[in-house]
Amino acid sequence: MRRSPLLITLLFTLALAYYVHTPLPDALEERWKCVLLDVLIRTVGHAAKLMQWLGFGHHIQNLRWFSVLLEGTPGPDFVPGVKARDETFAGVPVRVYEASGGEGGLKRGLLYFHGGGWALGSAKIGAYEKDCRILSKELNAVVVSVEYRLYPEVQFPVPYQDCFAAAKHFLSAEVLSRLSVDPERVAVSGDSAGGNLAAAVSQEISQDSSVKVKFRVQALIYPALQALDFNTPSYIQNSRGPVLPLSALAKFWMQYLGVDLSLLDQVLANHHSSQQQSLLTPELRARFDWTRLLSAKHRQNYKPVVADKGLDGILEKIPALLDVRAFPLLADAEVLSKCPKAYIMTCEFDVLRDDGLMYARRLEDAGVQVTSVHHEAGFHGCFSMAALFEVGKRAQKHYINWLLDNL
């Protein structure tokens, strides 16, 4: 009996060590910060699911509550000289940031879509509130952060429709004039799921003849651009990476598109894009063929995973799986050729690395000028964690300098 406390302590220590241990790459900068961050994210995720099991709302809504609790909201003086106010653009809530002073006259305009797997994140709290204040100050810009609707309240195409409606409203001559924005210097940007929305909106705006003012540039930060191949090299290499492991990314996609989560294992095995899917033509497959679109450095020795059969009829049942508004990487070359100059940021330790690299290649092949910036020490989410990680500071600085030079 005397050994019981020691045994319990030993078991608890082993369980804690197992939980804390994360097989993260040694090459990550500030690795222990990443480990602690990963532990925090997993702990909050488990707590959110436990709350749902106990009857306290949907786990996604619980995650939002934890985000508010952990991130908080910076005060109005976080970046002196930047004012923020809430408006609605075509019925969509937005937060407008304006920096006082600067170069005077007309300012740059930046439309920003936050990340969060189309389920989390907000223009009004935490990192995104801070980032937009910083961007407004550093760029002497009017920054408009869009509070598009999220899962589980809505699914695709509603978030895209919100962002497109807000973009058209922002680009109208009346609104640009009211906000003192130079119509020749307007950008669209976003990170992760927000990068997906920014790319999709940029494509649509470039083709819409009713929109007279076009975006000058698109700046995409580790964008999510396709969900037909969950076995690209970066998906495999970083399947258990920090912040966004592959299983979490797949669930975000499936929730957004309305795919039953019970099919997760089959989706991860690419059964939804099997050879059996007649709607997935060779021409479409070529648009996300990483064996052609990635450099040898990133292809390495990985092999494509193409199932012969599986999930027959899923593309007919869920047409969103072939919708370019959900998957900008699937757009044809003619659409891509009309897109504005692009800045695409990718990170080595990120499941979404190859999405961004493939899109950069496809845009270049279509004749679009692309600045592809790859952070060898970067990981998913680092851009919005510049206050914590040096690689995030470098990423944010490079992004701002590029916009200063190109917008």
Q: What DSSP letter does each residue of 233-263 carry, written as one string?
A: HHHHHTTT-SS--HHHHHHHHHHHHT--GGG
Helix boundaries (H) for 123-192: 126-139, 158-170, 173-178
Asked whether the beta carbons of 120 and 59 are under 8 A apart, the reply is: no
- Which residue of the set 136, 189, 192, 273 is catalytic? 192
Pick among 3.40.109.10, 3.40.50.1820, 3.20.20.70, 3.10.129.10: CATH of 72-226+326-406:
3.40.50.1820
CB-neighbour burial class of residue 140 (10 A; exposed 0-12, middle 13-18, buried 19+): middle
CA distance 336 to 350: 24
With b for 16 or more beta-carbon neighbours within 10 A and e for fewer, the 307-343 pattern comes to beebbeebbeebebbbebbbbbbbbeeebbebbbbbb
CA distance 211 to 92: 18
Structure tokens at 116: 């969060």
Return left, alpha or beta for 72; rule: phi > 0 is left, psi -120 to 50 is alpha, else beta: left
Asked whether the beta carbons of 164 and 156 are under 8 A apart, the reply is: no
Residue 94 bridge partners (DSSP): 87, 146
Q: So what's the pLDDT on residue 47?
A: 86
Q: Is the dihedral of CA 147, 89, 359, 154 positive or negative?
A: positive
pLDDT digits (tens, 9 = 90+) for 310-363: 999 999 999 999 999 999 999 999 999 999 999 999 999 999 999 999 999 999
CA distance 61 to 255: 14
Residue 86 bridge partners (DSSP): 95
Any catalytic annotation for residue 265?
A: no
- Which residue of the set 273, 354, 380, 384 is catalytic? 380
Question: What percentage of the chain's residues is helix, strand, coil (to nearest 5)?
Answer: 45, 15, 35
Any catalytic annotation for residue 192?
A: yes
CA distance 39 to 16: 11
CA distance 116 to 63: 11
Q: So what's the pLDDT on residue 256?
A: 98
Per DSSP, 330 falls in state G
Any catalytic annotation for residue 26?
A: no
pTM to 2 decimal places: 0.94
Residues 93/145/120/351 CA torsion (nearest 10 deg): 150
Tens of each residue's pLDDT in the chain, 407 residues: 445 565 555 555 545 555 556 677 777 888 888 888 888 888 888 888 989 999 998 999 988 888 888 877 777 778 888 999 999 999 999 999 998 875 568 999 999 999 999 999 998 888 899 999 999 999 999 999 999 999 999 999 999 999 999 999 999 999 999 999 999 999 999 999 999 999 999 999 999 999 999 999 999 999 999 999 999 999 999 998 889 999 999 999 999 999 999 999 999 999 999 999 999 999 999 999 999 999 999 999 999 999 999 999 999 999 999 999 999 999 999 999 999 999 999 999 999 999 999 999 999 999 999 999 999 999 999 999 998 999 999 999 999 999 999 99
- Which residue of the set 131, 350, 354, 355 is catalytic? 350
Q: So what's the pLDDT on residue 78?
A: 81
pLDDT digits (tens, 9 = 90+) for 372-384: 999 999 999 999 9
Coil/strand/helix, residue 26? coil
Q: So what's the pLDDT on residue 358?
A: 98
CA distance 312 to 235: 24
CA distance 394 to 407: 20
Domain-wise residue ranges, the chain: 29-65, 72-226+326-406
Helix boundaries (H) for 105-221: 126-139, 158-170, 173-178, 193-207
Q: So what's the pLDDT on residue 384?
A: 93
